[in-house]
Amino acid sequence: MLANSVGFDPTTIANDSKLENHLKYLIANQSTMAGTLATGTITASGIAVAAETITIGSVTYTWRAALTGAKATGTITTTGNFSEGETVSVEGQTYTFRATPVSPYDIDIGGSAAASLDNLKQAINQGDTEGAGEGEGTNYGTGTLFHPLVTATTNANDSQIVQARDFGTYANRFMTSETCAAASWGAATMTGGVATIPNEILTTGVAATELDSLKLAINNSATEGTEYSFGTKAHPQVTAEANDNTTQVVTARDFAVGEDIASTKTMTNWAWGATTLASGVSDQNAVDATALAGTGKGQNANV
Protein backbone atom coordinates (compact mmCIF):
# COMPACT_ATOMS: atom_id res chain seq x y z
CA MET A 1 0.00 0.00 0.00
CA LEU A 2 2.86 2.39 0.78
CA ALA A 3 4.40 1.76 -2.64
CA ASN A 4 1.11 2.44 -4.37
CA SER A 5 0.66 5.68 -2.43
CA VAL A 6 3.84 7.07 -3.95
CA GLY A 7 3.08 5.81 -7.46
CA PHE A 8 5.50 2.86 -7.51
CA ASP A 9 4.83 -0.70 -8.68
CA PRO A 10 6.13 -2.97 -5.87
CA THR A 11 6.01 -6.07 -8.07
CA THR A 12 9.09 -4.86 -9.94
CA ILE A 13 11.24 -5.65 -6.87
CA ALA A 14 11.13 -9.08 -5.28
CA ASN A 15 13.62 -8.35 -2.53
CA ASP A 16 11.97 -6.66 0.46
CA SER A 17 15.06 -4.85 1.62
CA LYS A 18 15.68 -3.35 -1.81
CA LEU A 19 12.02 -2.38 -2.05
CA GLU A 20 12.27 -0.62 1.29
CA ASN A 21 15.29 1.36 0.12
CA HIS A 22 13.55 2.34 -3.11
CA LEU A 23 10.49 3.52 -1.20
CA LYS A 24 12.59 5.59 1.20
CA TYR A 25 14.22 7.28 -1.78
CA LEU A 26 10.93 7.95 -3.52
CA ILE A 27 9.25 9.28 -0.39
CA ALA A 28 12.18 11.62 0.23
CA ASN A 29 11.88 12.95 -3.32
CA GLN A 30 8.16 12.83 -3.97
CA SER A 31 6.14 15.86 -4.89
CA THR A 32 2.43 16.42 -4.35
CA MET A 33 -0.12 16.62 -7.11
CA ALA A 34 -2.65 18.73 -5.24
CA GLY A 35 -6.32 17.90 -5.62
CA THR A 36 -9.16 20.40 -5.62
CA LEU A 37 -11.38 20.91 -2.62
CA ALA A 38 -15.07 20.84 -3.42
CA THR A 39 -16.98 24.08 -2.94
CA GLY A 40 -20.53 25.32 -2.71
CA THR A 41 -21.98 28.82 -3.01
CA ILE A 42 -25.13 30.15 -1.43
CA THR A 43 -26.62 33.30 -2.91
CA ALA A 44 -28.86 35.72 -1.04
CA SER A 45 -31.46 37.66 -2.96
CA GLY A 46 -32.98 39.00 0.25
CA ILE A 47 -32.81 38.73 4.02
CA ALA A 48 -32.95 35.66 6.24
CA VAL A 49 -36.17 35.04 8.15
CA ALA A 50 -36.38 33.73 11.70
CA ALA A 51 -36.88 29.94 11.91
CA GLU A 52 -35.50 29.36 8.40
CA THR A 53 -32.59 26.92 8.20
CA ILE A 54 -29.51 26.27 6.15
CA THR A 55 -27.86 22.84 6.19
CA ILE A 56 -24.30 22.01 5.21
CA GLY A 57 -23.45 18.33 5.55
CA SER A 58 -23.91 17.29 9.16
CA VAL A 59 -24.79 20.73 10.57
CA THR A 60 -28.04 22.71 10.37
CA TYR A 61 -28.01 26.42 11.19
CA THR A 62 -31.24 28.09 12.31
CA TRP A 63 -31.93 31.79 11.97
CA ARG A 64 -33.33 33.54 15.06
CA ALA A 65 -34.56 37.05 15.74
CA ALA A 66 -33.04 36.57 19.21
CA LEU A 67 -30.56 33.89 20.18
CA THR A 68 -31.92 31.32 22.61
CA GLY A 69 -30.41 31.46 26.06
CA ALA A 70 -30.52 33.62 29.18
CA LYS A 71 -28.60 33.99 32.41
CA ALA A 72 -30.60 33.61 35.60
CA THR A 73 -30.91 36.75 37.71
CA GLY A 74 -32.02 37.86 41.14
CA THR A 75 -32.80 41.36 42.45
CA ILE A 76 -32.53 42.68 45.98
CA THR A 77 -34.57 45.83 46.65
CA THR A 78 -34.26 48.21 49.59
CA THR A 79 -36.65 50.62 51.26
CA GLY A 80 -33.90 52.02 53.48
CA ASN A 81 -30.27 51.59 54.43
CA PHE A 82 -28.72 48.47 55.95
CA SER A 83 -27.94 48.08 59.63
CA GLU A 84 -25.01 46.60 61.55
CA GLY A 85 -24.88 42.81 61.30
CA GLU A 86 -27.54 42.42 58.62
CA THR A 87 -26.66 39.87 55.94
CA VAL A 88 -27.28 39.23 52.26
CA SER A 89 -26.60 35.76 50.84
CA VAL A 90 -26.21 34.61 47.24
CA GLU A 91 -25.75 30.89 46.53
CA GLY A 92 -23.41 29.86 49.30
CA GLN A 93 -21.79 33.21 50.06
CA THR A 94 -22.96 35.53 52.84
CA TYR A 95 -22.10 39.23 52.99
CA THR A 96 -22.38 41.03 56.32
CA PHE A 97 -22.96 44.76 56.60
CA ARG A 98 -20.65 46.54 59.07
CA ALA A 99 -19.99 50.11 60.14
CA THR A 100 -16.34 49.20 59.72
CA PRO A 101 -15.40 46.10 57.65
CA VAL A 102 -12.89 43.94 59.51
CA SER A 103 -13.30 40.46 57.97
CA PRO A 104 -13.62 39.01 54.48
CA TYR A 105 -17.14 39.50 53.03
CA ASP A 106 -17.91 42.38 55.37
CA ILE A 107 -19.66 45.22 53.52
CA ASP A 108 -19.28 48.84 54.58
CA ILE A 109 -22.56 50.52 55.45
CA GLY A 110 -22.49 53.66 53.33
CA GLY A 111 -24.20 56.95 53.94
CA SER A 112 -27.23 55.74 51.99
CA ALA A 113 -28.77 52.52 50.69
CA ALA A 114 -27.40 53.41 47.25
CA ALA A 115 -23.83 53.65 48.61
CA SER A 116 -24.20 50.37 50.50
CA LEU A 117 -25.45 48.62 47.39
CA ASP A 118 -22.46 49.98 45.47
CA ASN A 119 -20.17 48.45 48.11
CA LEU A 120 -22.02 45.13 47.88
CA LYS A 121 -21.58 45.17 44.10
CA GLN A 122 -17.84 45.79 44.45
CA ALA A 123 -17.50 42.91 46.91
CA ILE A 124 -19.37 40.41 44.72
CA ASN A 125 -17.23 41.34 41.71
CA GLN A 126 -13.88 41.82 43.51
CA GLY A 127 -10.88 41.03 41.37
CA ASP A 128 -13.10 40.37 38.38
CA THR A 129 -15.44 42.77 36.63
CA GLU A 130 -14.80 45.68 38.99
CA GLY A 131 -11.01 45.44 38.85
CA ALA A 132 -8.64 43.75 41.29
CA GLY A 133 -8.82 45.17 44.77
CA GLU A 134 -11.17 48.06 44.06
CA GLY A 135 -12.43 49.26 47.43
CA GLU A 136 -10.94 46.29 49.29
CA GLY A 137 -10.28 47.09 52.94
CA THR A 138 -12.57 50.12 52.82
CA ASN A 139 -15.81 49.38 51.00
CA TYR A 140 -15.59 45.68 51.85
CA GLY A 141 -13.37 43.46 53.97
CA THR A 142 -9.81 42.55 53.03
CA GLY A 143 -9.61 38.98 51.75
CA THR A 144 -12.96 39.04 49.99
CA LEU A 145 -12.92 37.04 46.75
CA PHE A 146 -15.18 37.51 43.76
CA HIS A 147 -18.25 35.30 43.75
CA PRO A 148 -17.48 32.28 41.55
CA LEU A 149 -21.03 31.77 40.31
CA VAL A 150 -22.57 35.22 39.88
CA THR A 151 -21.72 38.79 39.03
CA ALA A 152 -23.37 41.96 40.30
CA THR A 153 -24.63 43.88 37.31
CA THR A 154 -27.02 46.82 37.09
CA ASN A 155 -27.86 48.63 40.28
CA ALA A 156 -29.96 51.65 41.18
CA ASN A 157 -30.34 53.71 44.32
CA ASP A 158 -32.64 51.07 45.80
CA SER A 159 -31.83 47.79 44.01
CA GLN A 160 -29.03 45.49 42.90
CA ILE A 161 -29.22 42.75 40.25
CA VAL A 162 -27.03 39.67 40.43
CA GLN A 163 -26.62 37.47 37.36
CA ALA A 164 -25.32 33.94 36.80
CA ARG A 165 -21.97 33.82 35.04
CA ASP A 166 -23.22 31.25 32.55
CA PHE A 167 -26.35 30.65 30.52
CA GLY A 168 -28.70 27.84 31.48
CA THR A 169 -31.41 26.64 33.80
CA TYR A 170 -28.91 25.33 36.38
CA ALA A 171 -28.72 28.76 38.04
CA ASN A 172 -32.48 28.91 38.58
CA ARG A 173 -31.81 26.95 41.77
CA PHE A 174 -29.24 29.44 43.17
CA MET A 175 -30.45 30.46 46.63
CA THR A 176 -30.88 34.10 47.63
CA SER A 177 -31.71 35.23 51.18
CA GLU A 178 -31.24 38.11 53.62
CA THR A 179 -31.68 39.10 57.27
CA CYS A 180 -32.50 42.73 56.58
CA ALA A 181 -35.27 44.94 57.95
CA ALA A 182 -35.37 47.16 54.88
CA ALA A 183 -34.27 44.91 52.02
CA SER A 184 -35.63 41.79 50.32
CA TRP A 185 -35.02 39.55 47.31
CA GLY A 186 -37.65 39.19 44.63
CA ALA A 187 -37.63 35.39 45.07
CA ALA A 188 -35.93 32.71 47.14
CA THR A 189 -33.91 31.60 44.10
CA MET A 190 -32.60 33.25 40.99
CA THR A 191 -34.88 32.95 37.99
CA GLY A 192 -35.01 33.25 34.21
CA GLY A 193 -32.08 31.03 33.20
CA VAL A 194 -32.49 29.43 29.76
CA ALA A 195 -30.07 27.04 28.06
CA THR A 196 -28.43 28.07 24.82
CA ILE A 197 -28.97 26.15 21.57
CA PRO A 198 -25.91 25.68 19.34
CA ASN A 199 -25.91 26.65 15.65
CA GLU A 200 -28.36 29.54 15.89
CA ILE A 201 -27.55 32.66 13.85
CA LEU A 202 -28.98 36.08 14.54
CA THR A 203 -31.03 37.78 11.85
CA THR A 204 -30.11 41.41 11.20
CA GLY A 205 -32.43 42.49 8.40
CA VAL A 206 -29.42 43.01 6.11
CA ALA A 207 -28.45 40.13 3.83
CA ALA A 208 -24.77 41.13 3.64
CA THR A 209 -24.31 41.09 7.41
CA GLU A 210 -26.27 37.85 7.67
CA LEU A 211 -23.85 36.24 5.22
CA ASP A 212 -21.02 37.53 7.42
CA SER A 213 -22.69 35.98 10.47
CA LEU A 214 -23.08 32.66 8.66
CA LYS A 215 -19.36 32.73 7.85
CA LEU A 216 -18.50 33.47 11.47
CA ALA A 217 -20.70 30.63 12.72
CA ILE A 218 -19.23 28.09 10.28
CA ASN A 219 -15.69 29.05 11.29
CA ASN A 220 -16.50 29.65 14.98
CA SER A 221 -14.80 33.03 14.81
CA ALA A 222 -15.51 36.55 16.08
CA THR A 223 -17.97 36.84 18.96
CA GLU A 224 -19.74 33.67 20.01
CA GLY A 225 -23.00 34.59 21.67
CA THR A 226 -23.43 37.73 19.56
CA GLU A 227 -23.67 36.92 15.86
CA TYR A 228 -24.30 33.25 16.60
CA SER A 229 -25.14 31.17 19.65
CA PHE A 230 -22.93 29.88 22.41
CA GLY A 231 -22.01 26.23 22.00
CA THR A 232 -21.59 26.51 18.23
CA LYS A 233 -18.46 24.69 17.05
CA ALA A 234 -16.42 25.13 13.91
CA HIS A 235 -18.01 23.09 11.14
CA PRO A 236 -16.24 19.71 10.97
CA GLN A 237 -16.56 19.31 7.19
CA VAL A 238 -16.26 22.77 5.64
CA THR A 239 -14.80 26.23 6.10
CA ALA A 240 -16.45 29.45 5.02
CA GLU A 241 -14.20 31.30 2.58
CA ALA A 242 -14.72 34.46 0.55
CA ASN A 243 -18.05 36.24 0.66
CA ASP A 244 -19.51 39.46 -0.64
CA ASN A 245 -22.81 41.24 -0.16
CA THR A 246 -24.81 38.49 -1.89
CA THR A 247 -22.79 35.24 -1.82
CA GLN A 248 -20.92 32.97 0.56
CA VAL A 249 -18.54 30.22 -0.55
CA VAL A 250 -17.96 27.15 1.60
CA THR A 251 -15.05 24.79 0.94
CA ALA A 252 -14.66 21.16 1.98
CA ARG A 253 -11.92 20.41 4.50
CA ASP A 254 -11.19 17.01 2.95
CA PHE A 255 -10.34 16.32 -0.70
CA ALA A 256 -11.87 12.85 -0.57
CA VAL A 257 -15.41 13.54 0.61
CA GLY A 258 -16.24 17.05 -0.58
CA GLU A 259 -18.85 16.09 -3.14
CA ASP A 260 -20.65 13.94 -0.57
CA ILE A 261 -21.49 17.03 1.50
CA ALA A 262 -25.11 18.02 1.02
CA SER A 263 -26.16 21.67 0.85
CA THR A 264 -29.83 22.38 1.49
CA LYS A 265 -31.98 25.14 2.99
CA THR A 266 -35.50 26.09 3.94
CA MET A 267 -34.98 29.75 3.04
CA THR A 268 -37.12 31.79 0.69
CA ASN A 269 -34.50 34.35 -0.27
CA TRP A 270 -31.32 32.23 -0.31
CA ALA A 271 -30.34 29.48 -2.76
CA TRP A 272 -27.50 27.02 -3.19
CA GLY A 273 -25.91 26.55 -6.59
CA ALA A 274 -26.26 22.77 -6.20
CA THR A 275 -27.58 20.22 -3.71
CA THR A 276 -24.05 19.11 -2.81
CA LEU A 277 -20.62 20.68 -2.86
CA ALA A 278 -19.06 20.27 -6.30
CA SER A 279 -15.90 20.37 -8.45
CA GLY A 280 -13.72 18.47 -6.02
CA VAL A 281 -10.75 16.39 -7.23
CA SER A 282 -9.15 13.83 -4.92
CA ASP A 283 -5.70 14.67 -3.66
CA GLN A 284 -2.92 12.34 -4.89
CA ASN A 285 0.77 11.95 -4.20
CA ALA A 286 2.92 11.87 -7.34
CA VAL A 287 6.56 10.81 -7.44
CA ASP A 288 8.98 13.38 -8.74
CA ALA A 289 9.78 12.36 -12.33
CA THR A 290 13.54 12.62 -11.85
CA ALA A 291 13.41 10.55 -8.68
CA LEU A 292 11.29 7.89 -10.34
CA ALA A 293 13.62 7.72 -13.35
CA GLY A 294 16.53 7.32 -11.00
CA THR A 295 15.13 4.08 -9.68
CA GLY A 296 14.94 2.51 -13.13
CA LYS A 297 11.49 1.18 -12.09
CA GLY A 298 13.26 -0.80 -9.43
CA GLN A 299 16.26 -1.86 -11.51
CA ASN A 300 18.78 0.80 -10.41
CA ALA A 301 21.06 -0.93 -7.93
CA ASN A 302 22.57 2.35 -6.84
CA VAL A 303 19.37 3.39 -5.01
pLDDT digits (tens, 9 = 90+) for 253-289: 988 777 789 999 999 999 999 999 988 776 655 555 5
At residue 290, does pLDDT exceed 70? no
Say how far apart CA 64 and CA 74 lie, in whole Å: 26
Quote the pLDDT of residue 262.
94
Number of other CB atoms surrounding residue 110 within 10 Å: 17
Q: What is the pLDDT of residues 222-246, one digit of tens each?
A: 889 999 999 999 999 999 999 999 9
- The pLDDT value recorded for residue 274 is 94
Tell me, what amino acid is at 53? Answer: T
Q: Which DSSP symbol is given to 45?
A: S
Name the average pLDDT for the chain: 88
pLDDT tens digits for 37-63? 999 999 999 999 999 999 999 999 999
Q: Mention every residue, 6+ apart, whose C-beta is less than 8 A from residue 111.
A: none
Question: How far is 77 from 134, CA to CA, in rounded Å?
Answer: 24
- Residues 241-257: tens digit of each pLDDT: 999 999 999 999 988 77
Lowest mean pLDDT, pick from 14-18, 43-47, 147-151: 14-18
The model's pTM: 0.71
Q: What percent of the chain has pLDDT over 90?
A: 73
Q: What's residue 287's pLDDT?
A: 54
Q: What is the dihedral sign for C-alpha 125, 130, 133, 137?
A: negative
40-71 burial, b if ≥16 CB within 10 A, otherwise e?
bbbebeebbeeebebbbbebebbbbeebebbb
Given this model, what pLDDT does residue 60 score?
A: 98
The answer on pLDDT for 34 being more than 80 is no
User: Using an 8 Å Cβ cutoff, are 5 and 285 in contact?
Assistant: yes
Report domain extents, the chain: 2-34+284-298, 39-68+197-272, 73-185
